[in-house]
Amino acid sequence: MAGSNLTTTEYIQHHLQNLTFGHHPDNGWSIAHSATEAADMGFWAIHLDTMGWSIGLGILFLWIFRKAAKTATTGVPSGLQNFVELMVEFVDNSVKETFHGKSRLIAPLSLTIFCWIFLMNLMDLVPVDFLPMLAQKIGVLVFNADPAHVYFKVVSTTDVNATLGMSLAVFALIIFYAIRTKGVSGFIGELTLHPFNAPSKIAMIFLIPVNLLLELVTLLAKPVSLALRLFGNLYAGELIFILIAAIGLWQLPLHFAWAVFHLLIITLQAFIFMMLTIVYLSMATEEH
Amino acid sequence: MNLNLTLIGQAIAFAVFVWFCMKYVWPPVMQALQERQKKIADGLDAASRANRDLEMAQEQADETLRESKGQAAEILEQAHKRSNQMVEEARDNARQEGERMIANARTEIEQEINRAKEELRAQVARLAIEGAERILESSIDEKKHRELVDKLATEL
């Protein structure tokens, strides 16, 4: 356990708190020293740990793939190229099966989603205390911080901001594609003239608000469900890791068992996020 | 768990990563894959073409072989026939020659016999005449007569 003077509740809470930097009404621009301070900062704060890990892992992913892409030969591929080609083909097939339009964006988008989310999820398998303790040591030594105030969450996807950020980007793409294929009027028509339709104009006027309500819920449910599904799965997984870590010596076999199971969840969630993105985008581009 | 600026930061990072992936990662890998695909397809094509060529060559070789076998058989048959003919001819020739020789020998023998007979006849006549002359010269001498006849007999 990090800091043996903590109670179990404090330990868990400590683990679930992000390292937040923002404008506190009393302290000005600073790193939050507690959960309440972080909450007081409101919207204009940023989770340094989430951003750091996600950007770092994103760069790692792009660096590996770029390295393979630069030396890609048409001859017999080497180990790294083999792996990269495997991933690319897998994503490409998934996209081709679902998305029937033509787009240069969808396939690389899906590849990025899958690999990036997988890498971020993978950080869940690093023992829960390793990196936070390292961060605590650095925080104490370098920044002269109080060890109890150094919060550090390693798994970016257990931060709802991260998942929602990605799903909102996907949402923007959904709207962009819908408008590009159907036009603004077509998009608005899709929102207002479905699912209830009436031949007379007067009846239609009454039906339009109902349709708009239903379709807006449908539309907004896409990014929200996308984000919360990933967040919920990973948050729960992380929480169980923390709970296991709190029980003492018998944690090792339990950790192993849960890690093996979690490996499945990690891959599956990355895949689901990718597949649903493709499905949503293909729905957006298809005419009714 | 508060919603804050991280949301926007993450969305921007995501967009940048996707852009980078689309620009610098996806196209070269895809290109390499497609080129390899083309290469393999070409290779398979060439292989099947070569196979077809091989088959054709095999067929041709088979046909040539069959033809030459037929020719050889024909030649052999002709040779057999010819040799049989030759043997037959030689046998005929030999038989004729033998018959001719036998006939020659027979005529020669006949001639020889005739000549001998002629000679014998001449000698017998001469001996008879000689004997008669001698008998006439010493007809009384019994002893001499006997002797003479004996001598004649031995001379025959």
Chain B residues inside the 8 Å CB shell of A34: none
**Is the minimum CB–CB distance between A276 and chain B shorter than 8 Å?**
no
Phi, psi of B83, rounded to the nearest 5 degrees: -65, -40
- The answer to whether the beta carbons of residues A154 and A27 sit under 8 Å apart is no
Residue A124's alpha-carbon distances to A232, A242, A256, B79, in angstroms, are 13, 10, 12, 94
pLDDT tens for residues B81-119? 999 999 999 999 999 999 999 999 999 999 999 998 888
Note the pLDDT tens digit of each residue in A10-67: 888 888 888 888 888 888 788 888 888 888 888 888 888 899 999 999 999 999 999 9
**Residue A2: its pLDDT value, please?**
43
pLDDT value of position A21: 87
- The alpha carbon of A139 is separated from its chain's Cα centroid by a whole number of angstroms, namely 26
Q: Nearest by CB to B7, which of A38, A41, A165?
A: A165
A252-266 mean pLDDT: 91
Percent of chain A with pLDDT over 70: 97
Amino acid A281: pLDDT: 92
User: Mean pLDDT over all residues of chain A?
Assistant: 87
Q: Is the ipTM of this complex over 0.90?
A: no
CA-nearest residue of chain B to A60?
A: B17
Taking CA atoms, A27 is separated from A38, A40, A151, in Å, by 11, 11, 18
Mean pLDDT of A103-122: 93
**pTM as predicted:** 0.75
Residue A268's H or E segment, with its range, is: helix A251-285
Q: Give the lowest-confidence range in A25-39, A155-169, A181-195, A260-274.
A: A25-39
pLDDT at A252 over 50: yes
- Pick the residue from chain B with its C-alpha nearest to A235: B1
Give the Cα separation of A40 and A51 in Å (integer): 20
Question: B14 and A70 in contact by Cβ < 8 A?
Answer: no
- Contact, B33 vs A88, CB < 8 A? yes
**pLDDT tens digits for range A86-95:** 999 999 999 9
* Lowest-confidence region among A75-84, A162-171, B142-151: B142-151
- Compute the Cα dihedral for A132, A133, A134, A135 and give only its sign: positive
Q: Which residues contact A203 (CB under 8 A, 6 or more apart)?
A: none
Residue B118 neighbours by CB distance under 10 Å? 10
DSSP A170: H
**Positions of A marked active-site:** 225, 229, 233
Q: What is the DSSP string of chain B?
A: ----THHHHHHHHHHHHHHHIIIIIHHHHHHHHHHHHHHHHHHHHHHHHHHHHHHHHHHHHHHHHHHHHHHHHHHHHHHHHHHHHHHHHHHHHHHHHHHHHHHHHHHHHHHHHHHHHHHHHHHHHHHHHHHHHHHHHTSS-HHHHHHHHHHHHHH-
Residues in B touching A156 (Cβ below 8 Å): 10
Rounded to a whole number of angstroms, the distance from the CA of A226 to the nearest CA of chain B is: 14
Does pLDDT of A3 surpass 90? no
Residue A1: pLDDT band by 50, 70, 90 thresholds?
A: very low
Q: Look up residue A246 and give its two tokens.
A: 């709190």
Average pLDDT for A96-100: 89
Instruction: Give residue B156's pLDDT.
Output: 67
User: Mean pLDDT in runs of 10 for chain B (156 residues)?
Assistant: 84 94 91 90 96 96 96 96 95 94 93 89 84 73 72 75
